Structure 1
Amino acid sequence: MKLLTVSALLCAVMALTTAANGTALNETETLSSADPRGVNKFASCTTGWTEFNGKCYIYEPKSMTYAEAQKNCQSKGANLASVHSDAEYKHLQNVVYQATYTNGHAWIGGSDSLQEGLWYWSDGTTFEYKKWCPGEPDNGGGNQDCAYMNYGSNGCFDWDDGGCATEMPSICVKRTPEL
């Protein structure tokens, strides 16, 4: 009798797993696999997010302070976007443009609020790649500790440091989910 109960439970778990995987597949755009044996399978980003180099990005149009934007990203299992290459920055610019048809400002995850001039990313990754507009970051007024993109001054659409209490849209990033 115990064997029958265990078998029934095992079948139920397998059925639920199959059903859950079917639902998960319907919520994703495509699948990719780094290994033909099924190891390291990843789902693409869910609806509304765009994929680039194993990460999912989303533009958040609601204007928020830097801290509110970071908290909003964290509620989605993400962080404000960190940027590690020209290609990644171009992707972020495209994400903003596709959502707004402009090169509008958006918070990214850079800050030097802990120590002036020592920049870090909110996701903990190393702040090595930099794309500051000329003369930036300048800590204008002594209170510009948060990075945003698409500055727009003098034709430069790279980064500026702004006051963290300023409200603007943002970009969140998270790793591409594993299956």
Structure 2
Amino acid sequence: MFKSTTGLCTPSALTNETQPFPTSEEGDLFQSFHCNTSTGFSAAIYGDTVVCVALFGPANYAEAGADCQDKGAYLASVKTSDKYSFLSQVAGNHNVWVGCDDLLQEGTFVWREDGQEVTLIERTNVFDPSDPATDDDLEDCISFQPSHSGLRDDDCSLSQSYVCEMPYG
């Protein structure tokens, strides 16, 4: 057992039908995880989350999404300010596509990773104050642009870098 609050490992009983899994007070289960570095991914941490990420491109939004999917990943979702700060480190000075658009219904922006609609909290925390526009037929895809203070909607046909993400494991 690994106890993240102390950084110590201690032996634990095997789990079976009569021995339940340990509680969170007893410690965290440790598993060996990895990223497929042969396809360009590396492990990264933001907040308490570990993910596999890679910067690719350039490509238009559809090509970027398809390439991530071919690699067993998805265009990165950026739902928190921690994740936004993390993305800015990964992207550097590149404009990058993230997995959010309103292609299915104009004005309803959805995260492609899980199909969830962008919330008001997400709009407040990670989007540029003027974006995403809900009535702009030409700018349906979301990108990170280092020169702005948040995610922005953009023309999906533009060719730019993109960040693919997959669960660490």
Same fold flag (TM > 0.5): yes
- Match of 1:84, SS? coil
- Match of 1:90, SS? helix
1:116 to 97, 103, 106: 106
Q: Which residue does the alignment assign to 1:15? A: none
Write 1 or 2 for the structure with the bigger share of helix: 1
Instruction: Assess if the C-alpha contact under 8 Å between 1:82 and 1:125 holds in 2.
Output: no
Q: 2: CA distance between counterparts of 1:174 and 1:44?
A: 11
Give, in angstroms, the shift of residue 141 of structure 1.
5.7
Decide whether aligned partners of structure 1 residues 50 and 40 sit closer, same or farther in structure 2, where only a CA change above 3 A counts.
closer
What is the total number of aligned residue pairs between the two structures?
Answer: 137
Q: Which residue does the alignment assign to 2:74? A: 79
Runs of 4+ in 1 over 4 A off after TM superposition: 32-40
1:107 to 91, 97, 105: 97
Give, in angstroms, the shift of residue 142 of structure 1.
2.2
Identical positions, percent: 25
1:49 aligns with 2:42: yes
Instruction: Assess if the C-alpha contact under 8 Å between 2:129 and 2:150 holds in 1.
Output: no
- Alpha-carbon RMSD across the aligned residues, in angstroms, is 2.6
TM-score, normalised to structure 1, is: 0.67
Deviations 1:68-102 (A, max 9, x none): 000110111100001121111111110112xxxx2
Q: 2: CA distance between counterparts of 1:140 and 1:45?
A: 39
Q: 2: CA distance between counterparts of 1:168 and 1:70?
A: 12
Instruction: Assess if the C-alpha contact under 8 Å between 2:42 and 2:52 holds in 1.
Output: yes
Larger radius of gyration: 1
Unaligned regions of 5+ residues in structure 2, if any?
Answer: 15-28
1:148 aligns with 2:143: yes
